[in-house]
Amino acid sequence: MTRLLIALAIVAVAAGVAYVAQKRRSPDAPTQRRYNIPEQLDRADFPRPDADWLVAVFTSNTCDKCAEVASKAAVLESTDVAVANLEFTQHRVLHERYQVDAVPTLVIVDSQGVTRKSFLGPMTATDLWAAVAEAREPGTTPGACADHAH
């Protein structure tokens, strides 16, 4: 009986040591920050509110990738698509109003101001153009490409 109690005590101590060692090896994951992407915009706040689509690019002069994203978006300008490059220092009010807290943030918005597709950070021109095509005419983007737009 004594041997059984000693064995149980040793097992309990070993389990405790293993638990503490495991906790030290795998710390809790750090808190993940989530950035805001506007779900709705007031089209009157942006150029050409009568256009069927708006591509709004929230940028900053201090952002290395913002100019690249803005130039990819600029090519989309057409009679149906208005493109707005909203640099932070010039359009601070819009960044604050729509709570954009990371750049570049790009949103593809319909005529009612509803965000249909978005990107946070840089994207390829192909992914951007496919996202606009898919927003304008759902089902036009092959399945694999549709996964790249948010």
Instruction: Say whether the peptide bond before residue 104 is cis (omega within 30 degrees of 0).
Output: yes
Per residue in 13-53, pLDDT (tens digit) is 777 777 766 666 656 667 767 788 999 999 999 999 999 99
Structure tokens at 7: 């064995």
What is the average per-residue pLDDT within 115-140? 93
- Among candidate residues 86, 74, 79, 75, the one with its CA nearest the CA of residue 51: 79
**In the chain, % of residues over pLDDT 90:** 66
Global confidence as pTM: 0.73
Per residue in 33-43, pLDDT (tens digit) is 778 899 999 99
Report residue 79's pLDDT band, with 50, 70 and 90 as the boundaries: very high
Contact 105, 120 (CB under 8 A): yes
Whether the pLDDT of residue 149 is over 50: the answer is no
Whether the pLDDT of residue 1 is over 50: the answer is yes
The pLDDT, as a whole number, for residue 38 is 95
